[in-house]
Amino acid sequence: MSAEPVSLELPMQREPAAAASLRARVAKQILRLVTRQVPVDLVLPDGGLLNQRGGSRTEGRPGIVLRRPESLYRRLAENPKIGLGEAYTAGDWHAAEDTDLADALAPYAERLSGLMPSWMLRLSRLVDLPIPADQRGAVEHTQENISAHYDLGNDMFAAFLDPSLSYSSALFDRSRPVADQDLEEAQLRKVNAALDLAGVGAGDDVLEIGTGWGTLAIEAARRGARVTTITLSVEQAALARERIEDAGYTDRVEVVVQDYRHVAGTFDAVVSIEMIEAVGERYWPDYFAALSRLVRPGGAVALQAILMPHQRYLTTRNSYGWIQKHIFPGGLIPSTTAISEQAGQVGLSVTRTDRFGADYAETLRRWRSAFLAAWPAIRSEEFDEEFRRTWEFYLAYCEAGFRAGAIDVAQIRLEAEDRDHS
């Protein structure tokens, strides 16, 4: 992009200048060591390469330009999990002119587990920040955490989402070239796959946890189901009601601004699309207990969840990273093992898991392209250049993770045992 990067001054830990300088030099050497294992050229302001002595860029390799390398080193020294993204937002580095940002990040994601030796990983935990108390999922903070992201404004999301306003992974038809497929079509395929997984049909009572902008509720009503859909986003609820009314299903769908912990009654099916990531690990027992309590005997729950490998989940569950700080306060990605264990404790069992992580990478690629194309219309006093760079990094960072298989997404069926809910 041609826009001049903004300057973002971040609070640094108070320490003697000599100590801060030493930490920055150590971060530089670690970055040089790490990047020598990755086929991405890191270009210094003088044109040289950080990860090679002498030489020049290799033709065909992705490139990253270090515009203000010393500032980048200082941020990485302060906290590597947060500093890299904040350095991008500040304009300390950017993808080379011939390199897509996700292409620059993907090689690092592909080598995530082997980039740093174990002794270095142990040292890195010394700079891990604890998760702030207001991001641990308590009822009194959940509304604030959800609003911080989803109440950015319906118009902002509509500028880059497809007409279904689906803000979760699409599901593409693997029998056809992905490039030939419309995103809205793929999003409706995802929605109907989730409804199929939960066995939703005419006459069923359905609970949706996490309304979004109403597309799943509309599709369930189209099947003849009666739907209660809950959300904590006031802005999403308002537009969802409008869309449901326009579709002619107000007699079948009720939109309620409510925490899942406060829902009463029972349902033939419960569906929740990428909601578990926002719950907070501390409250997963409450979440799964609610699922168990709300689904009728013989019913089913369909979850769509972003996933990470279980070992990585165990090592990162208590750390605070860039995504939690800047995008999803209170968020934590589970593993399939964690989901299975939590479900089992409340009498639910995982009976089917359908993975489609590559589809999320493609979904994110399209969102980022649409976001950047729509930026002139999105830009305002509220959505400034810092916001643009933050969201550009967020979408590319996640795309790289899914492309590399560092994270995944799946639709998971949980079946309720035949038990008495009374």
Give the residue numbers marked as catalytic: 398
| Strand, coil or helix: 254 | strand
Q: Token match 């395929």: residue?
A: 189
Please answer whether residues 107 and 38 qualify as being in contact, where contact means their C-beta atoms are separated by less than 8 angstroms. yes
C-alpha span between 133 and 370 (Å, rounded):
35
The DSSP element (H or E) to which 231 belongs, if any, is strand 226-231
What single letter denotes the amino acid at residue 215?
Answer: T
Q: In this structure, is the dihedral angle defined by the CA atoms of residues 173, 174, 176 and 182, taken in order, positive or negative?
A: positive
Please answer whether residues 228 and 206 qualify as being in contact, where contact means their C-beta atoms are separated by less than 8 angstroms. yes
The DSSP element (H or E) to which 146 belongs, if any, is helix 139-150
C-alpha span between 74 and 49 (Å, rounded):
19
Other C-beta atoms lying within 10 Å of the C-beta of residue 253: 25
C-alpha span between 370 and 365 (Å, rounded):
9
Q: What's the distance, Cα to Cα, between the start and end of the chain in Å?
A: 60
Half-sphere exposure of 404 (CA within 13 A, CB side): 22
Which of 178, 192, 232, 208 has the alpha carbon at shortest distance from 366? 178
Alpha carbon of residue 338 to chain centroid: 18
C-alpha span between 9 and 122 (Å, rounded):
28
Which of 361, 344, 355, 325 has the alpha carbon at shortest distance from 414? 344
Q: State the DSSP string of 288-357.
A: HHHHHHHEEEEEEEEEEEEE--HHHHHHHTT-B-HHHHHT-TT-----HHHHHHHHHTTTEEEEEEEE-H
C-alpha span between 137 and 279 (Å, rounded):
6
SS3 per-residue string spanning 88-107: HHHCCEEECCCCCHHHHHHH
Q: In this structure, is the dihedral angle defined by the CA atoms of residues 174, 176, 180 and 182, taken in order, positive or negative?
A: negative
- Structure token pair of residue 130: 């604890």
